[in-house]
Amino acid sequence: MLSQTSPTRSDKSDASDRCQGADARVLYQSKENPHHSGSTPNKILDKFAILLHNILMWIERDIMSCLRRAWEQFPIVVLTGMRQAGKTSLVRRVFPDANYVSFDIPRDAEHARLDYEDFIASHSSPLIMDEIQYVPEIFRHLKYVVDRDRRPGLYVLTGSQDFLLMSGVAESLAGRCAVLSLSTLSLSELTSVGGVDTDAFCWRGGFPELWQRSELDRDLWYGSYVATYLERDVRNILNVSSLRDFDRFLRALALRAGRLLSYSDLARDVGITPNTAKNWISLLAASRQVFLLEPYHRNAGKRLVKTPKIYFTDPGLLVYLLGFQEWSAVVQNAAWGAVWENLVVSEVFKYFLNQGKRPPCWFWRTQQGDEMDLLIETGPQQFFAVECKTAARVESRDLKGFQALEKAYGEKSLQKGAVACRTKRSYPLSEGGRLKALPLNGRSGLLNWLP
């Protein structure tokens, strides 16, 4: 259990979204050459510093094998994901020989907008185009290019604003590209290199830069992230007149993590209209900050709840928005159950997304009060069911949801069930081990028991 704001950490971590030479030079000067005068290094030193940075700071991402397979099969690979999740570092790592251009650079974005034919002609493939959502005009020409040349491995497109990016893909590139989604670091990705536990991960979150640079103040980093996100995405895209209202909206939404989402209640608490609340949640979901978990909708003779639940993609961002100053306050607060459930559900989603799959996940709740936190559909009315509990020991009352699910859909519907709890080791909850109490991570954990 952590009592400090700084979590335990690995000596390795993922590179940040933009691994610049300046960051690498700082690393080189501080770790390898403490007497360096601080003068600008020559190009050879720059390259060495960047190489040293990549060696020391890289963590293998679970999506890498899926990304390579897509590259071998499609002319275009689209990689979406929230800001600072590591998209740029990942594609440059996986495709080191590809040319690279970023539309974050105004000159390149302007060139592509004004003359996209000349822009494509002046950049040979394979080509990585970063932050492609800033130049939606280019999608139509890419369709023309790949229709003439359907060889795999021509272009990699990355973007952090799915609502712009995916509309362009749907209109112009359907059937010509593979679309993958990169989340922030998963718990299993970090623990694969050792040195981080579940509490530390939940507190600090999965943004690569926070693990790359241990000296970064967590609160300062998240405060800057939220401010930058508000300015770059919210103001520019939705033309929000009051960023203060949106900031208050974010924090009100964090209080609802793991709960049924009522747009009218949320709007009333923030002082906005329900339609505005819907639009703002659509923005957050499109930029991968949050996601909705829909209720399981196949009726089994009972009236089912039809309202979705809301979750945050990154646990660290959620805990920050809830306003906690130290980890010990989290586990003593009434919100701890929702934080734990958010962690479990978001890690399961990452598990499927890193395989290039749409998460086959739902929750189940009847109006009579029967419920299951997470249903993973493995076949027609066939489930792997998960309950989330913050206790280390599971009580008999914690199994009521499994019993209700079997009663509603039949005994054969429940293939496996798990209570994801704070236990250190797994143990059976039924004869034959079909139901188990599991830790979230580790060899016997939930993430290694998924279908």
Residue 171 binned pLDDT confidence (cut-offs 50, 70, 90):
confident
- Check whether 43 has a pLDDT greater than 60: no
Share of the chain above pLDDT 70, in %: 84
| pLDDT exceeds 50 at position 54 | no
Average pLDDT over residues 421-428: 94
pLDDT range class, residue 362, cuts 50, 70, 90: very high
Q: Both tokens of residue 18?
A: 């933009």
Q: Which has more pLDDT, 175 or 360? A: 360
Q: Cα separation of 369 and 138, whole Å?
A: 51
Q: Where are the alpha helices (DSSP H) in 135-194?
A: 138-148, 162-168, 187-191
Say what the pLDDT of residue 369 is. Answer: 87
Q: Are 302 and 409 in contact (CB under 8 A)?
A: no
Question: Residue range 3-25: average pLDDT?
Answer: 36
Question: Residue ranges of the domains in the chain?
Answer: 64-181, 217-353, 370-448
450, pLDDT greater than 70: yes
The residues near 20 (Cβ < 8 Å, ≥ 6 apart) are: none
**Is pLDDT at 163 greater than 80 in this prediction?**
no
Confidence of residue 331 (pLDDT cuts 50, 70, 90): very high
3-state secondary structure of 418: strand
Task: Find out if CATH 1.10.150 is the number for domain 217-353.
Answer: no
Task: 283-286: list long-range contacts, CB under 8 Å, 24+ apart.
Answer: 283/163, 283/233, 283/234, 283/237, 283/238, 284/250, 284/253, 286/161, 286/162, 286/163, 286/166
How far is Cα 293 from Cα 307, in angstroms, rounded to an integer? 9
3-state helix, strand, coil in the chain (%, to 5): 45, 15, 40
Q: Are 287 and 293 in contact (CB under 8 A)?
A: no
Rounded average pLDDT over 328-344: 97
Higher pLDDT: 42 or 227? It is 227
CATH match for 64-181 among 3.30.1370.60, 1.10.10.920, 3.40.50.300, 3.40.50.10880: 3.40.50.300
**Mean pLDDT of all residues in the chain?**
84
pTM of the entire predicted model = 0.84
Tens digit of each residue's pLDDT (9 = 90 or more) over 95-106: 999 999 999 999
Q: What is the pLDDT of residue 442?
A: 87
Of the ranges 116-125, 234-243, 305-314, 399-408, which one carries the lowest mean pLDDT score?
Answer: 234-243
Q: How far apart are CA 314 and CA 204, in angstroms?
A: 10
